[in-house]
A and B are shown apart, each in its own frame.
Chain A
């Protein structure tokens, strides 16, 4: 049984809702996503901004109520639980956020930020609480005296460590990492990725790793899912996806990765996508990628392609595979 099993997840945000103005327009942020994550693996989720990858993560962490579909954690359906019922699962499912500047409360000391989790779940008090904070801070590479400091005194990388400490202190088994490195400097990114890998090994953690940087996702993930306009277009083992991408969108994403090698960069051929990601409000009932697809033919504008298993463990949604 997979640790996390998401079936036909949909999350629609109403565009406008007022006392008198009720409109039927929705932003289809997540539109029918199914995936499962095995214990101890890292599933990478990539896509451009607005593709719904962050919404998937936040819905799985139940920061949003799903519009449709089910989320099973360790066999229990948590998709319709109330906030109160969710509290025990909050210890199991944690989240690391993208923006190291807005994800820490500027009015709290680092000790209190990390300690909040301990207080909420009543894990420890007094001396034991202080000891726990100290030990978790040291395990993310921060010192004792950092606990009395305020977030604005830290650099981006250190703030991200604080965010990781806050997630880890409740001893979760599943962590949604929502672009944890994209706001960090290159030399710091590798530190954070290595740290996440170390914790995964040490505590047997399972990650959902959301990012737009394909090379880093490839490095950390066991499998990778590619999202476009709220849907998964391809899902495969990370080497598999990188070596034999099937969906035209994946191909162009891969070819757009900047290569830190002048000769290779000069020789590489890019598959340029025309235009930009369309708005997720009026998504077409046929293939959503058709407006930018270099291989689009008439059938693409008629039927939606099925998300099917093309090779063993390799799923894709395109008519021409």
Chain B
């Protein structure tokens, strides 16, 4: 009745020694960051955005060095449409828009990176301390954030303009005052969540000090969120600068930021639309690139994706 099984010789029924098979490295040693990099590089859109950002930054550094003249007037070539010698055309004073755009890129990027650096330092520390301390201190610190939040950004800019005079530094100061708030809130939220994890308890049970727990355990685990928030705050800093310059609160002429360029060109929009199109596209493309990269980073850093 019983089914037939393939015949097996008795020698195969000898005992096998399994000890050497027991302990071997099977999978490659992959750190979290290697994993993140792999996921980011698999995302072609994000990779393109990263490439675009690198190109923009390099151009902003190199091109103004090659063509340093962004300010002198050449009335003989005013309002020229894009051509072989003026790639992006010239403005009403005959200045090369291509050169001015890359000078503008310097301002926009300096402001963006300065704002996000401040964002990083103040926001992370503030949020980290607030979330870690908890209780009353946390409540007080968060109410302060609410109060700062309630004052519009334009007001800060005008205040700093009055005291420090218009220019790059006023915008950076104004951004410093209000730009770290979302970061502080996000970091605090993350810390509050991480604090409940058992590995924090374990570290405390070993006698770790507060600063050790905060800087060795909590912060590294927030790093992903921090990077994403920072990347996503760059485009809004660029836009804020452009907006302020556009309404005349930003970088004063003859210096050129993207906002100033756009603002100046408005009057000539009918006869020379390219004067508006190029700076506006520069703003859009840079913001888009940072946003796409930020999204890509978020996907790459999200532990749920693994």
Which chain B residues have a beta carbon within 8 Å of chain A's beta carbons? 23, 25, 27, 29-32, 135-136, 139-140, 143, 197-199, 201-210, 212, 216-217, 220-221, 223, 303, 306
How close is A203's CB to chain B, nearest CB, in angstroms?
17
A89 and chain B: residue at smallest CB distance: B207
Contact B202 A166 (CB under 8 A): yes
Contact A107 B220 (CB under 8 A): yes
With contacts A104-B199, A150-B32 taken as known, whether A116 is within 8 angstroms of B220 at the C-beta atoms is no
Contact B206 A170 (CB under 8 A): yes
Whether A163 is near chain B, meaning CB under 8 Å from some CB there, is yes
Q: Which of A141-149, A192-200, A268-276, A301-309 contacts B (4 or more CB under 8 A)?
A: A141-149
With contacts A107-B32, A107-B220, A153-B27 taken as known, whether A98 is within 8 angstroms of B207 at the C-beta atoms is no
Contact A103 B202 (CB under 8 A): yes
With contacts A91-B207, A145-B25 taken as known, whether A58 is within 8 angstroms of B201 at the C-beta atoms is yes
How close is B206's CB to chain A, nearest CB, in angstroms?
5
How close is B196's CB to chain A, nearest CB, in angstroms?
9
Contact B207 A19 (CB under 8 A): no
A residues in contact with B143, CB < 8 Å: 19
Identify which of A93, A108, A120, A145 contacts B208 (C-beta below 8 A): A120
CA distance A107 to B203 in the complex (A): 14
How close is A145's CB to chain B, nearest CB, in angstroms?
6
A residues in contact with B139, CB < 8 Å: 18-19
Q: A18-B139, A83-B210 are in contact. List 17 more A-B contacts (CB 8 A).
A: A19-B136, A19-B140, A61-B205, A93-B205, A95-B205, A102-B198, A103-B197, A103-B199, A103-B202, A104-B199, A105-B199, A105-B217, A106-B303, A107-B32, A107-B220, A149-B29, A152-B306
In the assembled complex, 24 residue pairs joining A and B whose CB atoms fall closer than 8 Å, in A order, are: A17-B135, A58-B201, A63-B201, A63-B205, A90-B205, A90-B206, A90-B207, A93-B205, A98-B198, A99-B198, A102-B197, A102-B198, A102-B199, A104-B199, A105-B203, A105-B220, A106-B221, A116-B206, A117-B206, A121-B206, A149-B29, A150-B31, A166-B206, A170-B206
- Among A86, A102, A148, chain B packs the most CB atoms within 10 A around the CB of A102
CA distance A93 to B212 in the complex (A): 20
A residues in contact with B202, CB < 8 Å: 95, 97, 103-104, 163, 166
CA distance A19 to B137 in the complex (A): 9
Identify which of A18, A106, A120, A152 contacts B206 (C-beta below 8 A): A120
CA distance A91 to B136 in the complex (A): 31
B35 and chain A: residue at smallest CB distance: A152
A88 and chain B: residue at smallest CB distance: B207
Binding site of B, secondary structure by majority: helix, strand, loop or mixed?
helix
Whether A87 is near chain B, meaning CB under 8 Å from some CB there, is yes
**CB neighbors of B among A65-103 (8 A):** 83, 86-87, 90-91, 93-95, 97-99, 102-103
Contact B136 A63 (CB under 8 A): no
Contact A116 B203 (CB under 8 A): yes
B residues in contact with A149, CB < 8 Å: 29
B residues in contact with A95, CB < 8 Å: 201-202, 205
A residues in contact with B220, CB < 8 Å: 105, 107-108
B223 and chain A: residue at smallest CB distance: A107
CA distance A63 to B27 in the complex (A): 37
**CB neighbors of B among A120-148 (8 A):** 120-121, 143, 145, 148
CA distance A150 to B303 in the complex (A): 14
A residues in contact with B23, CB < 8 Å: 143
CA distance A86 to B206 in the complex (A): 10
- Among A58, A97, A163, chain B packs the most CB atoms within 10 A around the CB of A97
CA distance A143 to B208 in the complex (A): 26
CA distance A17 to B137 in the complex (A): 12
B residues in contact with A106, CB < 8 Å: 32, 221, 303
B residues in contact with A163, CB < 8 Å: 202
How close is B191's CB to chain A, nearest CB, in angstroms?
14
How close is A119's CB to chain B, nearest CB, in angstroms?
9
B143 and chain A: residue at smallest CB distance: A19
How close is A49's CB to chain B, nearest CB, in angstroms?
16
